[in-house]
Structure 1
């Protein structure tokens, strides 16, 4: 989908807008996923394996996507590469790695996805083990995080019409760090209760997931700025790098946060996100500088 956005838009502003809409709809799907999985968990037998039936639903949705792609038509002439060598597209993708613009960008998205996935993966465990919420409720509460990401990304296009991407992302990162520092200490004072409901859950269960609203614009804006800086026939190669390094960042973030949960306790695990936040702030300086330079073919 990322490599197709450049074929559907005519300028950087529309590219950024469509990118945020795409990412916003993606997060709507993530939000629905939390409720879908939660609906398949048996309340009186939360450790059972009945929830695996949810994959039949996901398989049906995948089949629907295949049908939609099969009947869609898209003019890809502008994205066709100028080479005819076997493996040329893969070589072009590797060539992108030697550009300073590229490695500052992939380092930034690696750090961002590390944050996003570590929170998204471990928030249910945090809700269950640290905030002592029921299993199904612990999963469904994460929909606040996904919903915040969706709302933030759908609204980011409007904000970007009045505010430049660089000051916006810096403000988002500083606000994220402030929320982590202010909200997480509230989890230390939560005590187990047998009758907890949605109406009397600890305030931190609702407050901390709102970090998604602040972090929402970062990933789509970085991707849009990067893709807009390249010729359209390089978008597919760059999209390959985005997928690879996003996957690596998400995997590493989830693994590292899990290790901290196991060895240091859940109270301190999410403080780890302050480190990549600071690194992204530094990387943004170099990334903005490189986007102002002409990109060689």
Structure 2
């Protein structure tokens, strides 16, 4: 009943896009504010760093499993139903933050919100394919969507900082997100969504999704995205620790390095919508992955005096990679499979976001300095660059993307 089949005009299409933009912004407001929340829960509940870090990796694992195990429902139930159900669960979970006051209660809610995010995000990612008339438009829209995600990543920590400065608890960020989510849910319910193209030749089940994990295109793009995510998350999890001993003339830059990184990332994603409409995506991926590797490599070679400039700047080059690879990976498949493949990619994304910082922390503890964790991240950035170089030279996906474009 929720999946409207009414023809979609331009005004409705714009409304659907803006709803999707707002959903991603709201999602980022909560997930990317965790770094500001963790010091508060350490103090409040006398936690170790390992225990407190569960606020980051537990919801990421929940997102990963939800995307993998439930992603096929976006193809089975339809985009609109999936999105609305996910938003309802997220909204209810967010409001429950206001009534609790224990670490385990909050951690349980983080699991529930992670599952809800994985559920509605796969529906939203599949929807982008439905409303895109070409592969280029799909990639442009995906960059714009991730641009709004970048804006949410700036707004969320700012709201938490304001709440704390005003004497309110950090948990009211989730109440604010819950109100926004409830409004988006109502608007989504009242909006006509495009009819979904179904493929009746194969039953839509979890087994089909798991089978897709063996597909070379799904696996290739997911692996590249995982490498990218590790290099990105390294910045907003560990860069503040790396730069805390900076004693040069640009102390203010070290203080606001993470904010500058987020601003560059958000700006670059909006810019990416224009860049990718002018240049071939494989060339852009090659150039930006090379720039990221250089930022990491020279930061490690010359130390924090250069890292204070280069690591925040890397946000500008990182900005276009995730939405573009995500878009092209999804575009390799029929629209009737977009929910399942979006779930597979989301699984790799969230697992990398959870395990990457953990591996960096373990290496840093082993050798006694956080810079060793960044050596590891530099290696991942180098592998990502080599994959993008191979992609540019051999063009392994060119035929399947052209086929999907005209199919």
Shorter-chain TM-score tier: 0.7 to 0.9
Residues 6-155 of structure 1: pairs in structure 2 closer than 5 A: 6-42=129-165, 50-78=169-197, 80-82=198-200, 85=203, 88-127=204-243, 129-131=244-246, 141-155=257-271
Change (3 A) 1:118 1:65: farther
User: Which residues of structure 1 form unaligned runs of 5+?
Assistant: 190-202
For these two proteins, the number of residue pairs brought into alignment is: 273
Preserved contact between residue 160 and residue 173 of structure 2 (Cα < 8 Å): yes
Contact 1:34/1:143 (<8 A) preserved: no
Instruction: Give yes or no for the alignment of 1:218 onto 2:218.
Output: no
Residues 162 and 211 of structure 1: CA distance in aligned 2, closer, same or farther (over 3 Å): same
> For the aligned residues, what is the CA RMSD?
3.1
Distance 1:185 1:51, change over 3 A: farther
Q: TM-score, normalised by structure 1?
A: 0.80
Once the 2 structures are TM-superposed, how far is the Cα of residue 49 of structure 1 from its aligned partner?
9.3
Alignment of 1:290 with 2:396, yes or no, is yes
1:34, 1:142 within 8 Å by CA — same for their partners in 2? no
Structure number having the greater helix percentage: 2
Q: State how far apart, in whole Å, the 1-side matches of 2:342 and 2:147 are.
A: 18
Q: TM-score, normalised by structure 2?
A: 0.60
Q: Which has the higher contact order (CA 8 A, sep 6+)?
A: 1
The answer to whether the 8 A contact 1:113-1:250 is kept is yes
Which residue of structure 2 lines up, in the alignment, with residue 192 of structure 1? Answer: none
Corresponding residue SS for 2:277: coil
- Output one character per residue of 1:82-139: Cα deviation in whole Å (capped at 9) or x when no partner: 2585xx2322222222222221111111111111122222234344x4348xxxx988
- The more displaced of 266-275 and 232-241 is 266-275
Q: Which stretch shows the higher mean deviation, 253-262 or 212-221?
A: 253-262
1:266 aligns with 2:366: no
Distance across 1 between alignment mates of 2:375 and 2:321: 19
Give the alignment of 1:197-236 within 5 angstroms: 204-205=307-308, 207-236=310-339
Closer/same/farther in 2, CA of residues 13 and 67 from structure 1, 3 Å limit: same
Shift of 1:58: 2.9
Q: 2:352 maps to what in 1?
A: 249
